[in-house]
Amino acid sequence: MTTATASRFEELLSTRATIARPRPLQAAGTATYEFGGGLPDPASFPYAGILEATARMLEAEGAEAMTYGDPQGYRGLRELVCDKYERYEGLQITPDSLVVANGSGHALSLAFSALLDVGDPMICEAPTFHGTLFTIRRHGPEILDVPVDAEGIVTDAVRVRLETLRRQGRRCKLIYTIDNFQNPAGPTMSRRRREALIALAQEFGTLILEDDAYGELRFEGEPIPSLYALDDSGCVIRAGTLSKTLGAGVRLGWLCASKEMLPYLQGFNFGGGVSPFMSRVATYYMREHMVEHIALLVDVYREKRDQMLRGLWEPLEGTDAEISHPEGGFFLWLKLPTGADPARLAELADEAGVRYVAGPTFFPNGGGERNVRLAYSYESPEKCYQGGKLFAECIRKATA
């Protein structure tokens, strides 16, 4: 494309398209040690089971699977989500409280589109998942960041933000939080913080968007009731997905919300329902295999986490580096030791074939220069150990 053509093209872009700079396209899985994106383990995909489930589904449902579907999404899938929540959390909901989306990223975008105008204040954790942060920026709100500690979002800081807005005569539109195995920092929000956050949302008349992509992938510790389960006022919207359990390419997620809120969320969705065909395939497989498949994944990812931690700590023992120990999920969050040069580390890691994500990517308003995120989800346990150790050696070399 010539400079003149590019200039004419840019003049036609919408305001939303220019709010945030587009992310560079980068092929996944091309590094020797792919610790960058949160890619599920390809060896865990149930290829034969999906093939068999597809045949059973087509025999049972025929042409219905190949046409438009319910605007809220295939009812069988919504019933499956209800069963999953009751089985793993004791949470009882109905299919009418769910709307299916094209993965959790799309589900979250539905909520942002329904609630945020340009300039609206919203509260977001710092750090937070960079993919969602990019989507938030595209909607153009004023992002008010609050820190995360070992108990999750710091609710005292949330209160300060909310009280400041009230004094200004303004109102927070939304609080976005990742409560289980927070991406990237790793903590699980404590019950007392969950209850405090809900109380704040009720007191200040705002909504909470609860992002729970990894809840079933718990390796240790006791599950804590979701924000949605603890709320009795309808102030929580919950997002979930099959991407981390069945496969990212399935592209099926959902929002769970009050019956009053649901039509507004659905209004930004596809009219004929999201992927009626794939929804049926996923449902037919997970009905039969959900419990055993998730149990397998828990064992797989626990081993990967432990091996990467072992590899990282061997060279870093004795330094003041800090490494998270998440109870589940896909990621480790590392604070570099004193004296480490992030720019030099990037060069050394690239030479070693180790891909990771630098900390500043996850902060809405700056910060994270001494942090990195490593995903242990994609590579084998052996490569998690080897690559973790290699990356830690790069850190030592980059430390003055």
**pLDDT tops 90 at residue 319:** yes
Q: What is the pLDDT of residues 185-219, one digit of tens each?
A: 999 999 999 999 999 999 999 999 999 999 999 99
Using alpha carbons only, what angle is made at residue 127 by residues 122 and 129, rounded to the nearest 5 degrees? Answer: 80
| Mean of pLDDT values over 47-67 | 94
What mean pLDDT comes out for the span 59-72? 92
Nearest to 83 by CA among 95, 100, 74: 95
Going along the chain from its start, the domains and CATH numbers come out as 27-46+293-397 (3.90.1150.10), 47-289 (3.40.640.10)
Average pLDDT over residues 47-51: 94
pLDDT over 90 (residue 342): yes
Tens of pLDDT along 125-156? 999 999 999 999 999 999 999 999 999 999 99
The pLDDT score that the predictor gives to residue 14 is 80
Please compute the mean of the pLDDT values over residues 78-106 and round it to a whole number: 95
d(CA 368, CA 31): 23
pLDDT at residue 25, as a whole number: 47
pLDDT band at 270 (very low <50, low <70, confident <90, very high): confident
Can you give the pTM of this predicted structure?
Answer: 0.94
Mean residue pLDDT of the chain comes to 93
Q: At what angle do helices 75-89 and 276-316 cross, to 10 degrees?
A: 40
**Does 4 score more than 60 pLDDT?**
no
Strand 371-375 relative to strand 331-335: parallel, antiparallel, unpaired? antiparallel
